[in-house]
Each structure stands twice: as C-alpha cells, then as structure tokens.
Amino acid sequence: MSAKKNALPHSLGSDLAKVDAHHIQPEEYIELPELTDDMLARGTAKKGGRPRLANPRQLISLRLPADVIARWKATGPGWQTRMAERLSEI
C-alpha cells in the first residue's frame, strides 16, 4: 500500500503546526480595528451556487427494462437529456 501524500508540499517555509496551536490573547485584540457602520454597509454576502431555474427538474424513480436503457445509453453522452426531450413531446 502506498504512503499517503500531503496535498501541498511543504514549500511555504512556515510552521503551520505552530500557527494552528496559537491562541489569540486579549492584548492582540487591541490591534484589530473597530467595525464601523460604514464598513458593515459596504459588506456584501454572495450566495454561492447556480441561479435557480424557473422550471426546475423534479427527481423521480422510474424502473425501465434493461434493454431500453441500454439502447438509450448506446446513443452516447447526453442520453438522459435526449430521453427527457423525447418524453416531453408526448
């Protein structure tokens, strides 16, 4: 079994264990600026992810014969989309 490798090499030149072990002391809070109403007003919150669709797809469970699925899969990538388009024509 191969040894587990770190995601990043230790090329930062810092002691991350020492940084992780540091606890902020009360005197260090003096160095932090006070939050003003102007600072808070400029702040924005971005909601991640894709925009919501006007007509989102709905998840269902459907059992189909194996040969039907095999024929659709044989048509190549995007077979689910083509199947949905075909079903919407009905």
65 lies in some domain: yes
Q: What type of residue is 56?
A: P
The answer to the question of residue 82 being in a domain is yes
Q: Is residue 71 part of a domain?
A: yes
Residue 86's domain comprises 59-90
Residues 58 and 51 sit within 8 Å (Cβ to Cβ): no
The pLDDT of residue 7 is: 58
Integer Cα distance of 30 and 24 in angstroms: 11
* Residues 73, 79 contacting (CB under 8 angstroms): yes
Q: Looking at the domain assignment, is residue 28 inside a domain?
A: no
pLDDT by residue for the chain (90 residues), tens digit each? 455 655 555 566 677 888 888 888 888 888 888 889 998 899 888 888 888 899 888 999 999 999 999 999 999 999 999 999 999 998
